[in-house]
Amino acid sequence: MTMKYTDTRNIIRKCNLDATQFYDALFDWLNGTEKILQSAVFRLDRNATARITPSIDIGLPDDVVRISGGFLTGCFVEWSCNIPFVPIDTTVGVCTSSVYCFSKKLIHFSLDDFEKKINQLIEARNDFSWNFNSGNHFIILAESEDVNYLVMHSSASEFKKDMDRGLYPVPNNWYWNSIETLVDGNRYLRFIKEKDAEIFWKIAEKIPEYNIKRHDYFAEKFAKGLTNIIQSYTEHHYGMPTQESINIGCYITEPEKIVPIFSAPGRCLFLYKVDIDDPNAGNTKLIPHGWGKTCMNLSKIELINSMQEIEIAGRKYLINSSERIKGDIRQFCDNPMKQNYYFSTMSKYYKGIVKKILNQKFSYSKHGCLSWKLD
């Protein structure tokens, strides 16, 4: 059971320094989504319940389809219904964060060496889809004290838009003709139910292990001939942890788990552990996987033109657009030199500790291979 919505909202306001109207717009949007989600499951089961809990890093998604259908990045969607059900505009996929600790430091390893390794991984990818260079995905060689870490962030894109097994709502895919739409005022919710929802879950259930194998495969290829992997942390911040829940851009964690938290290109990465002595121990914690995306000019999210377009911060998008939503990486700290500000604020509600601070040395992403000055 997660924290109450109002409690989480108060935490979010204390942990973030964005304009107030930005959060008002996000909360209003999620309130509307939760309402229509509850109506949808209630029509299938008079005892059904549903709720959406925002994470501390609630923010704008990149995906127009997701936000048009009612969902944001940094939230946990839950329902209980005796008929299988899936709200498809949650745009379910599995996005995974992994950290591999090497047995020794790569002292003479250069940017050129790093780039050669990346090219070797691309050539050796086999059947795995390569998307470490799309969106906010990456491969990073980081270090802390005298140890190097390989950090990976990517999704199982094989299960996104594939017509026969993809979970993303692509026209004419395997469940397209089974989609039902509930309209309430100027909002809509698209969903599938019964047998199609059961098949959807069976596919979603298998993807996390598939993505772990992808990360392990590439990490082992990277380390081969250089060093050994002595420890690893892997968590999923996007997917279906159960057949009646979806986490979008946040970890679903329990006490004593260690999760990697990311920030901006070139900035520190953090290994964060929820404390076993947390007064809420046993409860599910929604821990961010990164700083999220904000938009200072956002004061309202609205479907317009008979719900064929969505307006976000003065920009209009077709609801089925593949265009990426404009926004900025959120800055959580009122003092850029004080890296601990965010965690000290968060720990008042989620008792935990930053176990390690990892400095980026080299990174590979949509920006190519880059070298960073270590702090």
What are the pLDDT digits (tens) for 200-223?
A: 999 999 999 999 999 999 999 999
Rounded to a whole number of angstroms, the distance between the first and last alpha carbons of the chain is 39
Q: Which percentage of the chain shows pLDDT scores above 90?
A: 63
Residue 55: pLDDT band (50, 70, 90) is confident
Quote the tokens at residue 331: 């800055």
Computed from CA positions of residues 215, 144, 328, 251, in that sequence, does the dihedral angle turn out positive or negative?
positive
Stretch among 116-130, 182-196, 266-280, 289-303 having the lowest mean pLDDT: 266-280
The answer to whether the beta carbons of residues 350 and 287 sit under 8 Å apart is: yes
Mean pLDDT of the chain: 88
Report helix, strand or coil for 241: strand
pLDDT of residue 146: 85
What digits encode the pLDDT tens for the residues 259-318? 999 888 888 899 988 776 655 545 667 888 887 778 888 889 999 999 999 999 889 999
Cα–Cα dist 208/307, whole Å: 34
Average pLDDT over residues 123-148: 92
Contact 132, 364 (CB under 8 A): yes
Determine which of 14-23, 84-93, 330-339, 345-354 has the lowest per-residue pLDDT on average: 330-339
- Indicate whether 48 pLDDT > 50: yes
Give pTM, 2 decimals: 0.91
Average pLDDT of the residues in 109-137: 93
Query: Closest Cα to residue 102, out of 119, 116, 117?
Result: 117
SS3 38: helix
Does the structure show a pLDDT above 80 at 339?
no
Q: Is the pLDDT of residue 3 over 50?
A: no
Integer Cα distance of 360 and 269 in angstroms: 7
> How far apart are the C-alpha atoms of 278 and 349, rounded to whole Å?
9
What confidence category does residue 77 fall into, taking pLDDT thresholds of 50, 70 and 90?
Answer: very high
Phi first, then psi, for residue 287 (nearest 5°) are: -105, 130
The model's confidence at residue 92, banded by pLDDT at 50, 70 and 90, is very high
- How far is CA 171 from each of CA 162, 175, 300, 305, 320, rounded to the nearest angstrom? 11, 9, 28, 21, 10
Does the structure show a pLDDT above 90 at 18?
no
**Residue at token pair 């717009």:** 25
pLDDT of 231 reads 94
DSSP letter for 321, please.
-
Report the distance separating Cα 84 and Cα 199, nearest Å.
10
3-state secondary structure of 230: strand
**What per-residue confidence (pLDDT) applies to 2?**
40
pLDDT at 331 exceeding the cut of 50: yes
Answer for the pair 95, 290: CB distance below 8 angstroms, yes or no.
no
Give the model's pLDDT for residue 4: 47
In this prediction, residues 21-30 reach a mean pLDDT of 90
